[in-house]
Chain A
């Protein structure tokens, strides 16, 4: 019996570890790194924060859509490094812990926002839909399912 309990405990730990992607530190140069990571591939990049109620609608929608079909998704939280644990727990809650996730190293950093898009004023959620030649379309506010890749 003891063995079963230990086994379950280790399994639980291990499964959690498999599913959980490390949350990358989003800093100077990270945006280019992400874009290079998806060379010649379409992808969706979504910026969100803990303090943005509509962002949770967006996370739910993304999780639902990913259950239906896989697409390249990058999630970037603008909360700042101090919020790492909370960001991780939200990603877990929405079952998005396996997504390529990033976290601003400074809360809503103007530098980082500018690097992504000088025309973005920090409103959230903010999404960028990249096609395979990386022409991008920006959308402020919660996405609708028909805007996501099919």
Chain B
């Protein structure tokens, strides 16, 4: 009798479990199905797919003084660097930067960064993902032998607790001094521990004056930056960087702030650079860009989405941020104009952005021949399937180019009209 009881009990338990477990199986099946629709094309998701620029994430590009195009990109736990001597027609074999693999965050808003100094030294930085959500370290490596070998990566942020140190920008000046800025949540963490309120993240920077062998202690620029938009940095004519970022003004107004270092160790006055008054307790994932002309004009572009003032904007300042030109709207808001870039060369200023018509993405550009006062009509450079990577503006000293990447397709380099 006892045996029969335990048998029927066990049967009941098993049957119940089988019936009740069905939804879980469906859930698991849904997961399997989803995997086939990954954002990366199938040719790039095979286990044996090679580390190629085509299949990379977050590529970034820069020309050296000899006109060689250098690219840095992420693939499967490594950062790679390769180059092209024929303006993107062909590429060298990639060289691994970090020999030991590590989790790398290289999405559109925060790609790998590469800069090259006048002596041809290459500097690469990226964000290493840490186990906790939103957390990361800013990593750095250099090559002083023309890209053949890279140094063991070092962590640039000197606060090493597991929190967010992400969205870095990097520039090098004519003296070869390297500046890196990033969004940093060490102060938010400290405030939380102390039970105090803290808005947004902070923005920090550091620099190296020994060609990237080491970096100076981190210096805070400001509290209360927006926490999920790319930062932007450009080198002023005196060799000190100017930094532009999305800031949180008052409670939740996400406009932009600009600062110039007045010395390598000294943060200058912080200026408000946009006045669109976008009040949002949210993540725009949409940072600004800055470029500085030889004569010292700062050219700025950004996105905002306030009810009254929305879309892409351009403005410039000739007095280091004390006054700004009237911000002009660029692109078609109805066509989702987004992710603007600006580049100032000796003669021209270029603007570049994406638009989307529901089917395909367009790469749009405009040119100014008078330092940003007047602009040409906008031009469609390229139409392609939508992509999550954002376009870049680069130049080789003679010619400006738009660079754009869609995972699984060739890297595009398009010359812009002079």
Point out residues on A near B: beta carbons under 8 Å: 3, 6-7, 10, 13-18, 20-25, 27, 49-55, 57, 80-82, 84-85, 88, 103, 105-111, 114-115, 118-119, 121-126, 140-142
Contact = CB atoms under 8 A, between A and B. Distances in A.
Interface size class for chain B?
A: 35 or more
B30 A22 contact: yes
Interface in B96-143: 107, 133-134
Binding site of B, secondary structure by majority: helix, strand, loop or mixed? mixed
Interface in B368-418: 386, 388
Of A51, A80, A105, A106, which is in contact with the most chain B CB atoms at under 10 Å from its CB? A51
24 contacts: A6-B13, A10-B13, A10-B17, A13-B20, A13-B21, A17-B20, A17-B22, A17-B27, A20-B23, A23-B27, A24-B30, A51-B228, A80-B39, A81-B38, A103-B34, A105-B38, A106-B38, A107-B107, A121-B303, A121-B305, A122-B338, A126-B282, A140-B282, A141-B279
Contacts of A118: 334, 336, 358
A35 B355 CA distance: 27
B328 interface: no
A85 B14 CA distance: 27
A81 B34 contact: yes
Contact of B284 (A15, A109, A123): A123
A7 B9 CA distance: 9
Nearest to A144: B281
B391 to A, nearest CB: 13
B134 to A, nearest CB: 6
Contacts of A109: 39, 386, 388
A16 B31 CA distance: 16
B280 to A, nearest CB: 4
Nearest to B387: A110
B4 interface: no
Contacts of A107: 39, 107, 388
Which are the 5 A-B pairs with shortest beta-carbon distances?
A: A14-B20, A81-B34, A105-B37, A141-B282, A17-B24
Nearest to A78: B285
Interface string B220-243: 000000011000000000000000
B320 to A, nearest CB: 30
Interface string B254-281: 0000000000000000000000000111
A66 B115 CA distance: 50
Interface string B293-312: 00000000001010000000
B26 interface: yes
Given A51-B107, A51-B134, 7 more contacts: A14-B21, A17-B23, A22-B27, A23-B27, A80-B39, A124-B285, A141-B252
B49 interface: no
B283 interface: yes
B186 interface: no
Given A20-B23, A110-B336, A142 B38 contact: no
